[in-house]
Structure 1
Amino acid sequence: MSTQNKPQSKPLRNDQVKNNAGGFVWAVNDMQRLQRFLCLGCEGGTYYQGEKELGIENAKSIIKLIEDGRGVEVVQTIKTYSIEGRTSKQNPIMFALALCAKSTDLSTKQAAYSSLSEICRIPTHLFMFIKYTHALGQNWGRAQRRAVSQWYTKQNPSELAMAVTKYQNREGYTHRDVLRLSHPSTKDPLICFLFDYITHGLQKAIEHLKSTNDNHNTENITDTYQQEVEQKQIILNNDNEEDDEINNKKLLTIEQLKEFLETVEKVKTSTDENELITAIRQHHLVREHLPTNMLNSKNIWAVLLENMPLTAMIRNLGKMSAIDLLREDSEAEKYVVQRLKNRAQLYRARIHPFNILVALETYKQGKGFKGKLQWQVNQQVKNTLEKAFYLSFKYVKPTNQRYLIGLDVSGSMSCGTINGSPSITPAVGSCAMCMVTVRTEPYAKVVAFSDRLIPVDFSKNSKLEDIMTETRRISFGPTDCALPMIWALERKEKIDVFVVYTDNETWFGKVHPSEALQQYRKKMSCPKAKLIVVGMKSNSFTIADPNDRGMLDIVGFDSAAPQVMSLFAEGAI
């Protein structure tokens, strides 16, 4: 049987493997598998694999990389994806880092712990990392105690005070728990006072401070100490406003820190709206500092919005609409819209496209997926969220190539979720992501396929809401990833770049996708026609032939994916 007549249920070459659907494809290498896991996670599993099974497979790939002597490279990859904001959730990042920290390979362990402060930028990340190391059987050895201690002691006191009062407990841990496990030590009087506050409460900390002041003058920080403070590594800063609120008011003395903590404790039980507004403005307090019963105040939310970081603002659009703060033509609406359209702010805040997509899907419903909160949808805010989705991808310039984009809408792509979001299946996520190319390139056609091909009417002016609705209406079936190339050949379409969004569980076709591309190249006299495979699940499969330099496998919902696709299309990589 010739290769061109071999169905996908038969191997084309000896280096192929059988996927979960019974078709033959290639296996991605372990580093590619790691990258898929970091971006896509394993929440919700796939049509063929449960979440636990998928997670174990990904963990084995990471362990194998470490065993092959590539542990430091793994840590560097984790660090790069984290710092560049290329992943939408931190759970896979922290799990992978915990695996490296647990490693018996010394260089891998050292690399993991030395990167802890850069990757765990807020307490939520730190507590998540600690939870995973505990689950993996990692004890509190010297390396972990030292790394966690330095997470606290190397921070600027102003930023640390904001972090520990906002994120008081996460993932089953409190700061008090972590301090008792890590035994941090510092000569910084402000951080010492913070540690006392965390472990004993404010009143005890003040009493201890008074007894210390009987023997030492800690009222002011010397010029030398101020220089040390300025040179400290600031983990939470204005260029790194991921989930955190920034305490712009620098706390340079014990008295200033004490005043801040006294205010934090006082507002916990306050019912005076004016008092809370004053505290928010004077000390840059945030929503988490305030009593729950006061969070229905429109005036309080208006003040919170003044300095609210982008991530928090996007998360709270529904709440602010519910209390009528974002009414049409209001100053709050104008402020929100202006910030959502600011590409530089989106980049600095590490706003991931997937998180904006989830926010858009939630906001347009007028109610949350959980709870009873409902709101009137502000059309201007909704439309700007869509613009922010495109802006949040790394900048992509047009390549002026001719694209045919194939969206796998088969049964397996309609099951499961991306990163645990209940509204975003791989099929829906694919159609949203493909619109980056449609809006960027002058020539880009889109088709959907399962066991048959379905042309869809996506244009530069199509709204995300409409195309996702259209995708959900398409009837699903078995998977044949060769159909986009076959369709283009039958219609004599001149295509430079085929892009296929899929979970690579193809099996139904009479010809392999790679062979369909070869036939297209030959019969259409397009020897340089390329295939980009965008993997939408963190399994180990790809339809891209690793021996063909004109085929590329990349990770879906990596915020850098469109940029990589553009470079590949131009022949730059």
Structure 2
Amino acid sequence: MESSEALLTLLQEGRGCEVVEEIKRFAQDERAVRLNACLFALAVCSQHSELKTRQAAFKALKEVCRIPIHLFSFIQYKKELKEGMKCGIWGRALRKAVSNWYNEQDAMSLAVAVTKCKQREGWSHKDLLRLSHARPAYETIALISKYVTKGWKEVQVAYADKENSEEIINLLSYLEVVEKVKHPCDETEVIHLIEEHRLEREQLLTDHLKSKQVWRALLKEMPLESMLRILGKMTADKILESGSSEMATICDRIQSEALLKKTKIHPLSILLASENYKKGYGSQGKVKWEPDISILKALDSAFYKCFMNVEPVNKRFAVAVDVSSSLCSVVPGTSVSTVIVAAAITMVISRTEMDTQVLIYSEGAVFPCTITADMSLVDVTTELVKIPSGSTDCTIPITWATENRKAVDMFVVLTNNPLWTFSASPVETLRKHRQQSGIFSKLVMCGLTSIGHAIADTEDRGLLNICGFDLGAVNIIRNLAQDLI
């Protein structure tokens, strides 16, 4: 709630329905870096004193909470918001909204969802169906509800002697398969069921996942993002071994141009996966592996191919990299060094935007830098650190653009130093550039290792501070450039 002043102000001004529409836009257009903020805001709206706001929030539930984990998170936020209050959260409006969430799903998609994600955030489907007093609108939803609340045996008894529709028969067949792989069974049969019914890793027993053949079957349809997350574990568990057919399958899928294009995966996602795999151990250090050169080569190939997925915003960019302090530290929360991140961001913008000026600056001096499309990540990294370091002054690139009469829509300043000394106010320096160029230029200050800094005028919508860095920061910069935020 401490971070929700703007949200609460809008609600107090009677603009709750506008807020809900904005939440829907961010969720549906995938503008939100993470959906949790949208879910929290929707929970706040659903408990606002104004009836229209509450009604709009509950009506939007299905559009914002597209998968079970979103729904569980929304319910948990409502619970936390109600803590300390005498009233409960399960009023008629919430019961109806949750009931509608289940009733409005495609039956087979719902069957897959409830068997893949059974519970999160302290809530389960059984809890929600019970507390919402859900009344299934269709026979197919009634079957799934009975399965969730009563179990498979009850479902078998209830539908054994009925004349079932084709849709019911298909659901019963799918649930029977899911139940079958919950128990130890023949490896060949598990593989057959995976291939025939497109079962996923979350639906299998841990014992099944010890088989290379089972993994081979899973890898054929496994989403690319999921595969990238578990490369290290698969290597540690000897599922992936040098020269094996599984290794060949993985490498082919990682660098498949068609698959990369279909998933629209960002180059920085590939870079992060590559650096995590390269270090040879998991986030807590318990799982360790020897990185395989074939996977590293496939990830490197995929990184360059993924530039085709970055759509230009058609603005004039100036990317300024601060080399005043050492760029050899690691971006918090990742295993990637700040110089590699700076080089990757520079490559993404310069390869995507036709009008991009790359600058490196230090010790009162700024140097234009040429980044060409045929340069590798190593080449760009070398180019960025070739001048000596000195003190930090993030106003230098803006002053350079003003003095050289360069028209810039977006200044993106990347620095490793959370503490800066300024020859002039960054805000005032930007205003001078705006006056000279006649353009409403914007400035993004990204402290790659910063835990917090504030140079921006909160009244100026063209100034943004980013502390730390991840893929979400790239989306935020794009959204700011396009006036979406």
Shorter-normalised TM range:
0.7 to 0.9
Quick one: which amino acid aligns to residue 543 of structure 1? A
Rounded to whole Å, the distance in 1 between the matches of 2:383 and 2:122 is: 41
Establish whether residue 372 from structure 1 lines up as the match of residue 283 from structure 2: no
Match of 1:433 among 340, 345, 351: 345
Match status 1:358 vs 2:308: no
Match of 2:85 in 1: none
- Is this contact kept in 2: 1:446–1:456, CA < 8 A? yes
3-state secondary structure, aligned to 1:557: helix
Work out whether residues 146 and 182 of structure 1, in 8 Å CA contact, stay in contact via their aligned partners in 2: yes
1:495 aligned residue:
406
CA deviations over 1:444-469 (Å, ceiling 9, x no partner): 34345688667596724454577679
**Secondary structure in 2 aligned to 1:207?**
helix
Give the drift of 1:428.
Answer: 6.9
Question: Within 5 A, what are the aligned runs for 1:545-556?
Answer: 551=462
Aligned to 2:72: 127
**Structure 1 contact 447–453 (Cα < 8 Å) conserved:** no
Within 5 A, what are the aligned runs for 1:442-521? 442=354, 444-447=356-359, 459-460=371-372, 461-464=374-377, 480-488=393-401, 493-497=404-408, 499-501=411-413, 508-519=421-432
Bigger shift: residues 77-86 or 145-154: 77-86
Which SS does the other structure have where 1:69 is aligned? coil
Distance change >3 Å, CA 528–CA 96, structure 1 → 2: same
How far residue 73 of structure 1 moved from its aligned partner, in angstroms, is 2.6
SS in 1 for 2:240: coil
Q: Which runs of 5+ in 1 are unaligned?
A: 1-55, 222-251
1:396, distance to aligned residue in structure 2 (A): 0.8
Residue number in structure 2 paired with 1:307: 221
The C-alpha deviation readout for 1:23-81, integer Å capped at 9, x for no partner, is: xxxxxxxxxxxxxxxxxxxxxxxxxxxxxxxxx44222322222223322322222222
Judge conservation of contact 2:453–2:465 (CA < 8 Å) in 1: no
Aligned position for 2:192: 278
For the aligned residues, what is the CA RMSD? 4.2
Structure 1 residue 533, shift from structure 2 partner: 1.7
- Identity between Structure 1 and Structure 2 (%): 32
Distance between the aligned counterparts of 2:335 and 2:201, measured in 1? 26
Distance 2:356 2:12 in 1: 43
CA distance in 2 between counterparts of 1:414 and 1:71 reads: 46
Aligned to 2:125: 175
2:272–2:334 Cα contact (<8 Å) kept:
no
Amino acid at match of 1:143: A
Cα distance in 2 for partners of 1:297, 1:367 equals 22
Distance verdict in 2 for CA 1:157–1:410, change over 3 Å: farther
Q: Mapping of 1:386-397 within 5 angstroms?
A: 386-387=303-304, 390-393=307-310, 395-396=311-312
Asked which structure has the greater RCO (Cα within 8 Å, sep 6+), the reply is: 1
Distance 2:8 2:260 in 1: 40
CA displacement 1:515-565 (0-9 Å, x = unmatched): 32455577xxx53355322265898966369679xx565986253743763
Structure 1 counterpart of 2:256, from 313, 338, 344: 338
TM-score of the two chains, using structure 2 as the length reference = 0.79
1:208 lines up with 2:158 in the alignment? yes
Q: Distance in 2 between matches of 1:183 and 1:164?
A: 18
- Return the alpha-carbon distance in structure 1 between the equivalents of residues 434 and 72 of structure 2: 52
Name the CA shift for 1:220/1:517 in 2 (closer, same or farther; >3 Å): closer
Structure 2 counterparts to residues 74-473 of structure 1, below 5 A: 74-137=19-82, 139-210=89-160, 213=161, 217-220=162-165, 252-253=167-168, 255-320=169-234, 323-324=239-240, 330-338=248-256, 342-343=260-261, 345-347=262-264, 351=265, 355-370=269-284, 371-374=286-289, 375-377=291-293, 378-387=295-304, 390-393=307-310, 395-396=311-312, 401=316, 403-407=317-321, 421-423=333-335, 432-442=344-354, 444-447=356-359, 459-460=371-372, 461-464=374-377
1:308 alignment partner AA? M
Residue equivalent to 1:58? 3
Contact kept in structure 2, 1:120 and 1:126, CA below 8 Å:
yes
- Displacement of 1:372: 0.6
TM-score, normalised by the number of residues in structure 1: 0.68
Alpha-carbon displacement from aligned partner over 1:247-281 (angstroms, at most 9, x marks no partner): xxxxx12x332222222122122252211111101
